[in-house]
Every structure is written in structure tokens, then in C-alpha cells.
Chains A and B, each alone.
Chain A
Amino acid sequence: KNQVEQSPQSLIILEGKNCTLQCNYTVSPFSNLRWYKQDTGRGPVSLTIMTFSENTKSNGRYTATLDADTKQSSLHITASQLSDSASYICVVTQVAYSGAGSYQLTFGKGTKLSVIP
């Protein structure tokens, strides 16, 4: 069964500090991995998307890494800000071969990050 496991479940850090969120997956065959940020009461917003051949991708203070061999990804947040408080969701896309549904997404449960002053 395809699974995406995120850790930690929740995290509290001081403003200005760095943090790293983890994502392990068992989805196969792999197409791409995305990280989303979801503010409370809002829809998820895309941060990065990485394919099999990409090891690192940055978006401002967010840097995602991917190790397709070990099926692990991380999201590193540098110099955290209060506005980084949100849930961060890892999503892995599987290539399927069943008609119109040729790609299937598996969502992690998310890591809830709280940045405090």
C-alpha cells in the first residue's frame, strides 16, 4: 500500500531558528514529490516539486531535498518567521497505468509547525 509518513507530527521553534521536516514514502513507481504549506483555514499552497533526478530545490527560505534511493525527502526552513507557522504536507505522485487516472497522489498527514517569538 502506498504510504507517506511525515515526522515530526508537530514542532515548536523560536523565531529565527532553522528546522527540518521529514517525509518517508513507499510510493512506487515514483513520479514526483511536492511540499505544500497549509495555513490554518486555508487551502494548501505549493512550495516545491521535485522529480526523480532532482536532489535539491529551493524556494526562498525553503529548501527541499530528495533521496529517491532511500525514498526520503526533507524540507529545511531557514531563519524561521512567525508567518511560517502552518502545516507542511508532503505529497508523492505515483505513475499508474489505469486509463484516465494515470497519476495518483498520496498525501502525508502533515507536520504542524509553530514559530514563537
Chain B
Amino acid sequence: NAGVTQTPKFQVLKTGQSMTLQCAQDMNHEYMSWYRQDPGMGLRLIHYSVGAGITDQGEVPNGYNVSRSTTEDFPLRLLSAAPSQTSVYFCASSLTQGLQGGYTFGSGTRLTVV
């Protein structure tokens, strides 16, 4: 049981490049989400999904796309990287979105855009 797996762990991009951050979970969790963590700020929600085929925007969705074709995978795509997207990105999953249980977080992807 691997939990939530994120790849890559580190990435450097040039401004304007695109890339996909991968997130996979093996716990059959319905709810998955992407957060970014910046110095001096709390985690902020980018996009989330309550099940396969369903996605929605969070607090800071601009510049990011997501899709959820399977229960297990929830990739985050950066369309045209900008220095403002330099951050640590966390994927999290939960059995359901609300009360039951906590969220399981991946170990993060540290992204630098130069």
C-alpha cells in the first residue's frame, strides 16, 4: 500500500515550458486534490476532484489544468510555466471530501521556474 505517490520530486522549468505533475493513489479514494505551498502562506487549493470524470476549480486555478480519467490518477498540468508558479505542490486524497477521516498527502513536488 503506497498511499499517495507524486512524481517527480524536483523539477526545474524554463518560463513558457509545459509539464505534468503526476499523482497516483492506491487507496480507492474518491476525493483528490492539488495544493501549492509557498513560504509564509498556508496551503492553497488549486483543483480538486470528487470522483472519476469530475473536476472543479479551487482557490488558485489559473495556469493549471487537471483531469480525472481514473479513480487512481489525478495529474496536474502546467500549460505555460511562469516564475510565479515556483512552489511546492502537494497532492492529497481522502475517502470522501468531508468529515470522514483525514487527508493523505503525497511527499510533494518542488518546482522551480526560471
Interface residues of A (CB under 8 A from B): 4, 31-32, 34, 36, 41-46, 49, 51, 89, 93, 95, 99-103, 105-110
Question: Interface residues of B toward A: which range?
Answer: 20 to 34
Contacts of A100 in B (CB 8 A): 50, 54, 56
Q: Helix, strand, loop or mixed for chain B's interface?
A: loop
> Nearest Cβ in chain B — how far from A1, in angstroms?
12
> Nearest Cβ in chain A — how far from B81, in angstroms?
22
Contacts of A109 in B (CB 8 A): 40-42
> Nearest Cβ in chain A — how far from B40, in angstroms?
6
Q: Helix, strand, loop or mixed for chain A's interface?
A: strand
Q: How long is the Cα–Cα vector from A108 to B44 in the complex, in angstroms?
A: 10
User: Does B107 lie at the interface of the complex (its beta carbon under 8 Å from any beta carbon of A)?
Assistant: yes
Which 10 A-B pairs give the minimum distances between C-beta atoms? A46-B102, A43-B105, A107-B42, A103-B98, A107-B43, A103-B97, A44-B105, A109-B42, A100-B50, A43-B107
